[in-house]
Amino acid sequence: MKKAFISALSFLILSSITLSLNSVFAKDSTKSLRVATTVPPITNIVENIGGTAIEVTGIVPNGVDSHTFEPVPSDAKILAEAGVIIVNGLGLEVPTIKLAEKVKKPGTPIVRLANDTLPKEEWQYDFSFPKEQGYPNPHLWPNIALTIQYAKIVRDQLAGADPEHAHTYAANAATYIAKLKQLDQAIFSCIDTIPKNNRKLVTYHDSFAYFAPRYGMQVIAAIQPASFTEPGPREIMRIITQIKREKIPAIFGSEVFPSKIMEQIARESGAKFVDELSDDELPEKPHPSFIGMMVNNIAIMTEALGGNPDCGGNVDTSNLTD
């Protein structure tokens, strides 16, 4: 009798342990894939493709200079818990990538979207990103053809880390890429409304090096040097002279890179100073998305250069998760 009781008790304990383990494993199998990202445009792209199947945390806050951003201790926990880490690359997030390499799980990939999108021979170097310093211009995403490549890489990386939801990522990516193609065509249409002699860009930070050649524009100058300080007097005078010679109607800055030098250049050259362009700060509602940011940019740019600012009004700026 005693043996029977002990056997029954052992069976119950074993059954209880088995049920508990099954419950834990079931819970783990339904847990969303954790994805750590960096700059807001990339975070937003990943959110749209991952949808409800993933949990996304962006390390770089909206409106913060991504070039000078330093991760804080709490970011180490986010990176350590991630199943996938998705960054832009090309030297944009060096401190964050170094931290990720130290704290990430052994099997967690660090996906460098720009490096995987563009071969080295197509990397752009310029005044803000001189070749001798080793890092090319990392701002690929204003060129929507390159953003579409980003989206495809994100889709494939999420599917590789979470095959169970591969069909979800594929479907979301197809819908999102269709929206990007609509945006791409709208940008071409907007640029077409700008007089040909005005299709020239002078910006404070050189965020449009990959944008300009795709859409038939020319970057005349970027004011901010590689040191992320202000240019010297000789460089300022050279830019003012060039703006006058080329009869450029407007020059562009952004709230992320405030600069009194831009106001001086505009005043002395006779160009209008527009400080509302954004390369990585997502706008408030009704357009709180990467696509919304680009629609705002092209409307601002087109109007300032003499084109039709309503040309992008039909672009769907909503997120797939809205």
β-pair partners for 157: none
Q: Would the pLDDT of 80 be above 80?
A: yes
Residue 30 is predicted with a pLDDT of 58
Q: Give 112-124 pLDDT, tens digit per residue.
A: 999 999 999 999 9
Residues 52 and 118 in one domain: yes
Does residue 83 have a pLDDT over 70? yes
For residues 49 and 171, the answer to whether their CB atoms sit within 8 Å is no
Same domain membership, residue 203 and residue 166? no
Mean pLDDT (whole number) for 181-187? 98
Do 91 and 39 belong together in one domain?
yes
Q: Alpha-carbon distance 279 to 297, whole Å?
A: 8
On the 0-12 / 13-18 / 19+ scale of CB atoms within 10 A, 293 is buried
Average pLDDT over residues 77-106: 98
Residue 268 lies in a domain: yes
**Burial of residue 255, with CB atoms counted within 10 A of its CB: 0-12 exposed, 13-18 middle, 19 or more buried:** exposed
Domain CATH number, residue 277: 3.40.50.1980
Residue numbers of the domain that contains 85: 31-183
For residue 10, what pLDDT band results from cuts at 50, 70 and 90? Answer: very low
Q: How far is CA 286 from the centre of its chain?
A: 19
Euclidean distance between CA atoms 247 and 245, whole angstroms: 6
Per-residue tokens: 211: 């944008």
Classify residue 152: in a domain, yes or no. yes
| Any domain includes 10 | no
**For the chain, what is the domain count?**
2
* Model pLDDT for residues 252-279, shown as the tens digit of each residue: 987 776 778 899 999 999 999 999 999 9
Task: Judge whether 20 lies within some domain.
Answer: no
Report the C-alpha gap between 89 and 112 in whole angstroms. 5
Residue type, 145: A
pLDDT at 14 over 50: no
Q: What is the distance between the alpha carbons of residues 113 and 101, in angstroms, rounded to a whole number?
A: 16
Do 39 and 171 fall into the same domain? yes
287 has a pLDDT exceeding 90: no
Average pLDDT, the chain: 90
Residue 1 lies inside a defined structural domain of this protein: no
Q: Which has the closest alpha carbon to 197: 108, 70, 306, 69?
A: 306
Residue that wins the pLDDT comparison between 67 and 26: 67
79 domain residue, yes or no: yes
Question: Is there a single domain that holds both residue 78 and residue 216?
Answer: no
